[in-house]
Amino acid sequence: MAKLKLTSAFCREVTCPPHKRKEVYRCTEQTGFGIEIRATSKTYWLYYTTPHGNAAQIKLGGHSDITFDQAKRAAKELRSKIVLGGNPAEEKANRKAVASFKELAGMHVEHAEGHLRSHACVELAHRRYLIPKFGKLRIDQVTTQAIENYLAELRQRLAPASVDRLRLVMHRSYKLAQGWGLPGSDRNPVSAVARPRYDNKRTCLLTPAEVNRLLGASGRSANPLLKPIVQILLGTAARRGEALNAKWEHIDFDREEWLIPHTKNGHPRRVPLSKAVMATIKALPRTSDWLLANPATGKPFDNIKRAWRTACIEARLPDLHIHDLRHAAIGAMINNGVSLHVAGKVAGHLRSESTARYAYVSDSSLAAAVEAGADNLMLGGAR
């Protein structure tokens, strides 16, 4: 190691002595500033003593990456921090210990696979949207403003509810990081993200004529099981996944009940089956353990989107979602005098508030209500 006044010209011209692997030159004018010369590289360094009395060094940058003046300024700034009790090497090591958002996302997906039935949604949110945007950043580099800007951008092409689900997934990632005590997770940038106001409540009350058109179109579908799927969903208020994954062993023909062992809320439930639904089930071909098995595979359908969309268009119900059948089934029960509590039990809701979201009042019920009020007030004329 040699000591001398370092200049830009010296650093540009100096080469490594042929008999040495490297040579270090320390500046006599600026404490700690130096350059390391090798046969193939030149690197600026800051050499210093830690608060514990140990010799340490921190890389400022390569000669070809930063200028001599930039290296000197960086050395001066770091030296000031050291004098005030800082330790750049330790701070750098701490930064390296902070996980990237991509690493946190991987941990979140792994956790979801062990704890959530809907873990595929978490994986999709991270893979398609969050990792491409934030994956390369450390978790402590992601800012609230960056998240808000990205979500605002996504609202231009995604539904508000879909964007808010991404916010919730990201928020959950940081909550898990805090629970695990990961370095850099002391701040959750998603907590301060403003939650947008939106109403994703869909009103769906199918008339008998609409149901008749839908069943007719489903019966003409290339998927021979689309019609019984629609009949079972309308007759039980079950979710699509619950119906597609039903097994013959879950049907109690004597008690006319359907056991749904795996539900969204984690609580199994038994659904009474009407005579119409029982007739539909008894007419199904028993080709495998699954009630509605795909004829081509003998296993549950991966999806029925194409057949469903085709049938809806033919039935002149182009905006109907398959989950709307659950809405329509619950609404039909309530409009026929069934209480929220009983309808909620059939649907598998744990709270009456959940059932209330589906409790749409039909026009005929409203008309009957005003007629009853008028009769009670004797508005038909004096008697």
pLDDT band at 294 (very low <50, low <70, confident <90, very high): very high
The whole-number average pLDDT for the span 376-380 is 62
pLDDT at residue 105, as a whole number: 96
Of the candidates 321, 312, 326, the residue with the CA atom closest to the CA atom of residue 213? 312
Of the candidates 106, 193, 102, the residue with the CA atom closest to the CA atom of residue 150? 193
Distance CA 155, CA 195 (A): 12
Torsion angle defined by CA atoms of residues 223, 229, 234 and 238, in that order, rounded to the nearest 10 degrees = -140
Distance CA 329, CA 358 (A): 9
pLDDT at residue 194, as a whole number: 83
Calculate the alpha carbon distances from 191 to 91, 163, 170, 173 in Å.
26, 15, 10, 12
Distance CA 225, CA 250 (A): 18
The whole-number average pLDDT for the span 142-171 is 94
Higher-pLDDT residue of 80, 337: 80
Residue type, 156: Q
Residues 6 or more apart whose Cβ sits within 8 Å of residue 332: 205, 206
Q: What is the mean pLDDT of the chain?
A: 87
**Pair 194, 167: CB distance under 8 Å:** no
- Is the pLDDT at 228 greater than 90? The verdict is yes
- Is the pLDDT at 297 greater than 50? The verdict is yes
- Is the pLDDT at 19 greater than 90? The verdict is no
Question: Which of 39-53, 101-115, 213-227 shows the lowest per-residue confidence on average (mean pLDDT)?
Answer: 39-53
The whole-number average pLDDT for the span 15-43 is 93
- Is the pLDDT at 197 greater than 80? The verdict is no
Question: Which of 149-158, 178-187, 247-256, 343-352 shows the lowest per-residue confidence on average (mean pLDDT)?
Answer: 343-352
Q: Which segment, 10-14, 88-92, 369-373, is predicted with the most confidence on average?
A: 10-14
State which fold the 208-367 domain adopts. hpI Integrase; Chain A (1.10.443)
Higher-pLDDT residue of 27, 383: 27
Distance CA 346, CA 20 (A): 83
**Pair 313, 220: CB distance under 8 Å:** no
**Pair 228, 246: CB distance under 8 Å:** no
pLDDT at residue 172, as a whole number: 96
How many CB atoms sit inside 10 A of residue 281's CB?
A: 21
Question: Which of 26-30, 77-81, 222-226 shows the lowest per-residue confidence on average (mean pLDDT)?
Answer: 77-81
Place of tokens 């809806």: 312
Question: What percent of the chain is modeled with pLDDT above 70?
Answer: 88
pLDDT band at 383 (very low <50, low <70, confident <90, very high): very low
Render pLDDT for 322-341 as a digit per residue (tens, 0 to 9).
999 988 888 888 878 777 77
- Is the pLDDT at 122 greater than 90? The verdict is yes
pLDDT at residue 375, as a whole number: 66
- Is the pLDDT at 351 greater than 70? The verdict is no
Long-range contacts of 190-197 (CB under 8 A, 24+ apart): 190/144, 190/147, 192/144, 193/144, 193/147, 193/148, 193/151, 193/167, 194/148, 195/164, 195/167, 196/155, 196/160, 196/163, 196/164
**Pair 78, 88: CB distance under 8 Å:** yes
Higher-pLDDT residue of 82, 76: 76
H helix or E strand, kind and range, residue 257: strand 257-260
pLDDT band at 14 (very low <50, low <70, confident <90, very high): very high
The whole-number average pLDDT for the span 11-19 is 92
The whole-number average pLDDT for the span 138-143 is 94
Q: Where are the domains of the chain?
A: 2-97, 101-180, 208-367
Distance CA 243, CA 266 (A): 16
pLDDT band at 219 (very low <50, low <70, confident <90, very high): very high
pLDDT at residue 346, as a whole number: 81
Domain 2-97 matching CATH 3.30.460.10: the answer reads no
Question: Which of 16-20, 67-71, 87-91, 97-101 shows the lowest per-residue confidence on average (mean pLDDT)?
Answer: 87-91
- Is the pLDDT at 224 greater than 90? The verdict is yes
State which fold the 101-180 domain adopts. DNA polymerase; domain 1 (1.10.150)
